[in-house]
Every structure is written in C-alpha cells, then in structure tokens.
Amino acid sequence: MNTGSDEPGEVAVAADSANADRRGAGQEAGREDGGGLGSRAPEFIKARRLLHLSWQVGVFVVGLAVVAAGIVMLPLPGPGWVVIFGGMAIWATEFVWAQLVLRWTKRKVTEAAQRALDPRVRRRNITLTAVGLVIVGALAAVYLWKFGLAVPWKIKDQ
C-alpha cells in the first residue's frame, strides 16, 4: 500500500529504529517532527526487549478491544466507525502497519471532504435531493388522491 503519495514508485519506508537508537541524541531519524514511523514507546521500555514486547502485546490487546467495541457498535447505537478509527490510532502508536493504514485513511477522508465541498458536487447533490423530494411528494399526493387519509390496515377490527 502506497501511503506517501499518489505517485507510482514512491513507497513509505520505516526508519530502522535499532540503528537510530544508537545514534547521538537517541532520537529516531525523522521523528523530531512527529512524522516518523515506528514505536512511540518510552525509551526505557524500548531499551529492554522483553518489556518492549510486553508493551506491544498490551497495546495490541487494548487496540483490539476498542476495535471490537467499534465493530459491535456498527449495527447497534453508537459511534462505531469513530471507535474503530480510535482503536486504529491506538495500534498506530506502536505498529507501522497501523500507522500506514491510518495515514492512508486520513488522506482518503481529506480527499472526500474536499470533493464534497466542490461547488459542482454540491449543486449536483442539491439537485438530486430536490428531485428526490419531488418524487416522494408526487407519490404521497397520488396515494392521498387515491386512498385519502385512511391507513391501509384496519385497526378497529382487532
């Protein structure tokens, strides 16, 4: 999945955190601005392999619980997609694949929002809404003309 740009041949590359940790200030390459890929665990956790693995398992379990709650909220009342993306954001604090998916999703949502704000698209949407309302109004008028205000089921017989 190409998340860096729409140009063919460009690919996002994760920084090698093992070599980057051994460098001068201990900062990962490209992480000063917060745009780098990789773990965002504290340095004392990344320094110990077993602790870092435990941290990753914890982040995965918490993210999985949040994503599962979001999936449950899809058919039930609740902000399902928002919770799912929240779980993806939790995963993105530790896993590069989740960072790439989240980056791709943010780019697609931004593109969709820009397309929705395009004046031609807005005119089209308003026109389609108006046509739909005219059709619904015409169907309601035909029903009222043919049957009046009587409902099609008989409540008095029950």
DSSP code string of 101-157: HHHHHHHHHHHHHHHHT-HHHHHHHHHHHHHHHHHHHHHHHHHHHHHTT--SS-STT
Q: What is the mean pLDDT of residues 55-77?
A: 92
Neighbour-count burial for 30-60, b at 16+ CB within 10 Å, e otherwise: eeeeeebbbbebeeeebeeeeebeebbeebe
Per-residue confidence (pLDDT) for residue 38, from 0 to 100: 75
What's the CA gap between 35 and 135, in Å, rounded? 50
Confidence band (pLDDT; 50, 70, 90) for 35? low
What's the CA gap between 143 and 135, in Å, rounded? 12
User: 62 and 90 in contact (C-beta within 8 Å)?
Assistant: yes
List Cβ<8 Å contacts ≥24 apart for 39-47: 39/93, 39/94, 40/93, 40/94, 41/93, 41/94, 46/17, 46/21, 47/21
Tokens of residue 12, six digits? 């996002």
Residue-wise pLDDT tens digits, 79-106: 888 999 999 999 988 888 989 998 998 9
Beta strands in 2-131 (DSSP E): none
Q: What is the mean pLDDT of residues 6-35?
A: 44
Q: What is the mean pLDDT of residues 49-78?
A: 91
Residue with tokens 């949502």: 109
Q: What is the mean pLDDT of residues 49-74?
A: 91
Tokens of residue 75, six digits? 């058919």
- DSSP class of residue 1 equals -
